[in-house]
Amino acid sequence: MKEEKHPKKDEAVETKPEPTELEKVRAERDEYLAGWQRAKADAINAQKRAHEDMKTFRAMANQGLIEELLPVLQSFELAFANREAWEKADKNWRMGVEYIYTQLRSVLEQNGITEVNPVGQKFDPQRDEATSHEPVTDEKQDHIIIRVVEKGYSLNSRVIKPPKVVVGEFKK
């Protein structure tokens, strides 16, 4: 008769069987797969960050050039505003100048420039530059922009040249 061995009270009973070779290989595979997926996600995120950084760099690099071109754009607009002198110029010459102006505006717009025209909006010192105040009779017009003296411009939603404005001022 064989004697059955019973564990002693002090001996720990092993309840978990040894992992098989297949289970070890699967665990190792899962570990490698998780590491690969993390590395792939990190690479994708790094690529996105690099793309955003390049976009920001381009915008900042363009800003200096664009700021230098804005006075040229304003010179065109001042020339067009002087109707009497403008109408005296040769028609073909005027058409050529207007075409160049249109090209310049188009290039600036393609590079993120938009006009800031805050007429009718509440004066915002972060966006606008007040040149003067004019009395208004309607209390609702108090601190409201009633006229733009000089156009403002923003580059990719950031004001780079504030508009010069006249602000309404209500006095009782």
Under 8 Å between Cβ of 115 and 148: no
Summarised one tens digit per residue, pLDDT across range 39-70 is 999 999 999 999 999 988 877 778 888 889 99
Summarised one tens digit per residue, pLDDT across range 6-46 is 555 555 555 667 878 889 999 999 999 999 999 999 999 99
- 128 secondary structure, DSSP code: -
Identity at 149, one-letter amino acid code: V
Residue 69: partners with Cβ closer than 8 Å, 6 or more residues away: 104, 108
Residue 1: predicted pLDDT: 53
For residue 129, the cross-strand partners are 164
Mean of the per-residue pLDDT values of the chain: 88
Number of Cβ within a 10 Å radius of residue 156: 15
Under 8 Å between Cβ of 139 and 97: no
Residue 12: predicted pLDDT: 56
- How far CA 21 is from CA of 24, 35, 91, in Å, comes to 5, 21, 90
Edge-to-edge strand ranges of the sheet holding 152-155: 113-116, 152-155, 158-161
Number of Cβ within a 10 Å radius of residue 72: 12
Q: What pTM was computed for the model?
A: 0.63
Residue 62: predicted pLDDT: 80
CATH assignment of 115-172? 2.30.22.10
Summarised one tens digit per residue, pLDDT across range 87-124 is 999 999 999 999 999 999 999 999 889 999 999 999 99
What is the distance between the alpha carbons of residues 44 and 30, in angstroms, rounded to a whole number?
A: 21
| Paired tokens of 151 | 């156009």
Q: To the nearest whole percent, how much of the chain has pLDDT over 90?
A: 66
